[in-house]
Amino acid sequence: MKVAAVQMVSGPDVQTNLRQAAALIAQAAECGAELVALPEYFCLMGHRDRDKLAAAESTTPVANGPIQAALSGWARQHGIWLIGGTLPLRIEGDAGRVHNSCLVFDPQGRLAARYDKIHLFRFDDGERRYDEAATLQAGTAGPVAFDCIDRAGTHLRVGLSVCYDLRFPELYRALMHPPCDLLVVPAAFTHPTGEAHWELLLRARAVENQCHVLAPAQGGLHENGRRTWGQSMVVGPWGQVLAQQAQGEGVVLATVDLARQRELRQRLPALEHRRL
């Protein structure tokens, strides 16, 4: 299956971000991608953290709001599996915080999976301070994976995670019961943490799980002054970077080679050797 990671430099206007996402998704679909993933906060990088609260949508009854409607429509229009990066979803009874949620839509535009980010980022180096818990509530569900089928009838098991989750390998180990074929990590890594650890961690997650990794990211200088690392990429199960984009908007394409993955797992059956 050909997969695509969309890289964006989102700003504070939701409609502008949606138009940019639509164009990049169309580009990926035209290049043959059957599964497309958007970055974390693709719909909004606000001037203030609390801007998420105003943009938050409801999932009652289902897919209620312009962002979710756009995701569903794009998936249906292009006949693709669409992993909607993240968007803020309201929490019943809590007006001061939202979930940072990754929604998946199937080629018919139906909601296929939801994962609420469970690890919330906090960073303070004396100059820059950031605490997601000020406006986000961590998800409480266990690992979330879904099964998709490409146009040739090939089945692919896909595990979901978001950004800061990448630093917690136990989440990915849990996603390997049963083993996934693809791990997806939509992100908005800060420039200093991304420069130090982004590629290192993505390749480690691929190697230790003998799995493909798809990592769409925010990448550039945003209107709010925040600078994200970018470097969206696809990593193969042997840890090799299959495709990558440094900064700016773009689409990263690669093929999930299940035959190669099976060969590696048979040659070095590390997943079968786990004892913890």
Active site residues: 40, 117, 163
Query: Residues with Cβ < 8 Å from 242, sequence gap 6 or more?
Result: 233, 234, 235, 236, 254, 255
For β-strands 212-215 and 182-184, DSSP reports them as parallel
Residue 91 backbone phi and psi in degrees, to 5: -115, 125
User: Vertex 67, ends 66 and 71: CA angle to 5°?
Assistant: 115
Stretch (H or E) spanning 267: helix 258-267
For β-strands 35-37 and 145-149, DSSP reports them as unpaired
Is-contact 23 54, C-beta < 8 A?
no
Helix (H, G, I), strand (E, B) or coil at 73: helix
Dihedral (Cα; 170, 174, 175, 178), 10-degree rounding: 150
For β-strands 145-149 and 155-160, DSSP reports them as antiparallel
Sort residue 26 into left (φ over 0), alpha (ψ -120 to 50) or beta. Answer: alpha
Helix (H, G, I), strand (E, B) or coil at 162: coil
For β-strands 87-91 and 81-83, DSSP reports them as unpaired
Is-contact 261 176, C-beta < 8 A?
no
Comparing CA positions, the residue from 248, 257, 255 lying closest to residue 24 is 248
Comparing CA positions, the residue from 229, 260, 228, 227 lying closest to residue 242 is 260
